[in-house]
Amino acid sequence: MNKNRIAITLGIVCLVLTIAISVQIKTMKGTSSTVSKRFSEDNLRDEVLKWKEKYETETLNLDNAEKRLATVREESTKNDTTASAKEEQITLNNNLLGITDVEGKGIEIIVKDNSSITSETIGVLDDISNYIVHDNDLRNIVNELKNAGAEAISINGQRIVSTTAITCIGNVIKINDEKVTSPFVIKAIGFPERFETLSRSGGILDNLDDYLEISTRKLDNVKIPKYTGVIASKYMK
Amino acid sequence: MNKEKITMATVVGIVCILLVSVMFAQFRTVEETDIEGIEVAREEELRTMIASWKAKYEETSQKVQETNKKINEYQEKAESVEETANLLNEELAQTNMLVGKTDVTGEGIIVHLSDNENKQIEEKDLLYLINELRLAGAEAISINDKRIVNMTEIVSVNETILINTERVTAPYTVKAIGNQKYLSSALSLKNSGYIDIYTSLGKTISMSVEKNIKILAYNSGNNLMKFKYVKEAK
């Protein structure tokens, strides 16, 4: 009688233990795959940083090489009387391309997502997406700036060059293939008074101002950084 | 009797502990399955980022090599006025081409956009097309032979489209030099590509892939090829 009871109890304990162990094994499997996933993700993250760093170092190398080229060029063509005009042209071309840092008088426009509108405060018939900055808002502002005679433009430090695309993938805006986020600081060099057309009643900034947070100011000296990528000519001759 | 009770209590206690630990284990498993979806997406995103930085690095690295080669050439030929003049001319020609001051040829695509009874082509359609072409790596672009350079604007004034302050009218022929495959596949992506988007809006658009396209130099006055306000930063 007593023996029987002990046997049954032991049986139950064994059964529970078996279940517990098999569950445990399953969990272990899951954990180890997650660990390896985390591990490989960390590796990937490391690799992203590694390539980014390599790119940044190479950008500095390019910077130095270009400065050196300018010196060597000047030095080795000093006996050529036609050289200095050509060198000036090359410098102008590089400035036009946007691969040099430039400065001059102009304007700074800051465009922000509207912080006073949230999913709680928004009207039933309204759409929250109206209150955030979209890629085509930025494209339109850039186009208007060009129309107002801008000579150089940047958005959050990304120089606008002839190969610049402003796009949106998911909800990430990319300029020159690099992520940019609100607030967007748009800088342009040009005749400040001409830029006023952007803010005129019915103009692009006036229209956007109904939804977004916008501020503009004229500046005596706007600094615009160079494009750090390469403007290639692999396919055109 | 007393002994039996103790045994029972112990057994029940053990079972309870086991059950609790099994439940914990269970919870953990559930949690892990939940975050798996995000992790996969993250990994993919990371891979794209690596590819993008790597491509940029390689491009820059190549440019560094080219620049160093030029430096060496100048130094080697420093004695000869004629030879350094040639090098200088080459460099000038190269930058002139990149800026858009010369006619260029190469492979690419031609996009035709025309008005139909219901829908007209608007300036914003052209602006968006230019952005898409640039994203797909276009090196030179023109619309009705007006070269699109860095500071080119496309605006509409009284229903007339102006490019480089010159009037252009429908039909529009947009030429782009670049990798044919990238350009054509980017525009013809199903549903989300430029052609599908604008065709579904009722606009008339077609595209052809060409081996040899000629794009004319910028020729709309001098105003986009000089600076009045920009100075090189010190």
Q: Is A31 part of the contact surface with chain B (CB cutoff 8 Å)?
A: yes
- Same domain? For A192 and A131 the reply is yes
Decide if B96 is inside a domain: no
Say whether pLDDT at A35 is over 80: no
Distance CA A74, CA A70 (A): 6
Q: Can you read off the two tokens belonging to residue A82? A: 């036609």
Same domain, A105 and A220: yes
The CA dihedral of B15, B19, B21, B25, to the nearest 10 degrees, is 150
Residue A218 has pLDDT above 90, yes or no: yes
What are B105-137's pLDDT values in tens digits?
Answer: 999 999 999 999 999 999 999 999 999 999 999
pLDDT (average), residues B61-70: 92
> Does A136 reach chain B within 8 Å, measured CB to CB?
yes
| Contact predicate A102/B232, CB 8 Å | yes
Specify the pTM.
0.79
Total domain count, chain B: 2
* Residue A213 or B16, more confident: A213
Residue B40 above 60 pLDDT? no
Check whether residue A105 and residue A218 sit in a common domain: yes
CA separation for the pair A197, A206 (Å, rounded): 10
Q: How many other CB atoms are there within 10 angstroms of residue B97's CB atom?
A: 19
Best mutation target among A10, A45, A53, A236 (most B Cβ atoms within 10 Å) is A236
What is the amino acid identity at position B121?
I
Mean of pLDDT values over A19-40: 67
Answer yes or no: is A117 within a domain. Answer: yes
Residue B38 pLDDT grade (very low, low, confident, very high; cuts 50, 70, 90): very low
Task: Give a yes or no: residue B15 inside a domain.
Answer: yes
- Residues of chain A in contact with residue B178, where contact means CB-CB under 8 angstroms, are 235-236
Angle between the N-to-C axes of helices B180-187 and B123-135, in degrees from 0 to 180, rounded to the nearest 10: 130
**Could you read off the pLDDT of A72-100 as tens digits, one per residue?**
888 888 877 888 889 999 999 999 999 99
Residue percentage of chain B with pLDDT more than 90: 60
- Name the band, by pLDDT with cuts 50, 70 and 90, for residue A44: confident
Residue B112 and residue B195 in one domain: yes
Range of the domain at B16: 1-76
| Closest residue to A62, CB basis, from B64, B70, B231 | B64
Instruction: Name every residue whose Cβ is closer than 8 Å to that of residue A127 and which is 6 or more positions away in sequence.
Output: none
Domain that holds residue A31: 1-58
Task: Please say whether the beta carbons of A97 and B99 come within 8 A.
Answer: yes
In total, chain B counts a number of residues equal to: 234
pLDDT score of B46? 85
Instruction: Give the residue ranges of DSSP H helices in A98-236.
Output: 135-147, 204-209
Q: How far is A81 from chain B (nearest CA, A)?
A: 10
For residue A71, being part of any structural domain is answered with no
* Domain-located, residue B93: no
Q: Are A131 and A190 members of one domain?
A: yes
Q: Are A190 and A106 within 8 A, CB to CB?
A: yes
CA distance B150 to A10: 83
Are residues A150 and B151, on separate chains, in Cβ contact within 8 Å?
A: yes
A190 part of a folded domain: yes
Interface test with B, best of A93, A95, A146 (most B CBs within 10 A): A93
Position B138 in a domain: yes
- Among candidate residues A58, A76, A91, the one where a domain is terminated: A58
Model confidence at B37: pLDDT above 60? no
For residues A17 and A108, state if they share a domain.
no
* Choice between B195 and B31, residue whose per-residue pLDDT is larger: B195
**Is A17 a residue whose pLDDT tops 80?**
no
By CA distance, what is B41's nearest residue in A? Answer: A41
Confidence of residue A196 (pLDDT cuts 50, 70, 90): confident
Do A108 and A218 share a domain, yes or no? yes
Say if B234 falls within a structural domain: no
C-alpha distances in Å from residue B131, one per residue of A99, A167, A186, A210, B173: 20, 8, 18, 26, 16
Task: Quick: pLDDT tens for A52-79.
Answer: 999 999 999 998 999 999 888 888 888 7
Whether A93 and B99 lie within 8 Å, measured CB to CB: yes
**A81 near B CB under 8 A:** no
For position A166, which CATH number holds?
3.30.70.1880
Q: Write down the pLDDT at residue A158.
A: 96
**B201 and B145 together in one domain:** yes
Model confidence at A132: pLDDT above 80:
yes
Residue B114 to chain A, least CA–CA distance (Å): 22
Question: Cβ neighbours of residue B45 under 8 Å, at least 6 residues apart?
Answer: none
What average pLDDT does this structure show over B208-231?
90
Structure tokens, A160: 């606008």
Q: Is the pLDDT of residue B13 over 90?
A: no
Residue A227 CB: number of other CB atoms within 10 A?
Answer: 21
Chain B contact set for A150 (CB, 8 A): 151
pLDDT band at B35 (very low <50, low <70, confident <90, very high): very low
pLDDT for position A3: 74
CB B150 within 8 Å of CB A96: yes
- Cβ(A144)–Cβ(A195) under 8 Å? no
**Cα A25 to Cα B182: distance, rounded to the nearest angstrom:** 49
Optimal mutation site among B56, B179, B224, interface A, most CBs of chain A within 10 A: B56
Mean of the per-residue pLDDT values for chain B?
88
- ω into A183 cis (within 30 of 0): yes
Is the distance from CB of A188 to CB of A107 less than 8 angstroms? yes
Distance CA B22, CA A26 (A): 11
Residue B134 has its nearest CB partner, among A5, A17, A165, at: A165
**Given this model, what pLDDT does residue B186 score?**
95
pLDDT at A14 > cutoff 80? no
Strands B204-215 and B146-147: unpaired
Tokens representing B84?
Answer: 């350094």
- Give a yes or no: residue B220 inside a domain: no
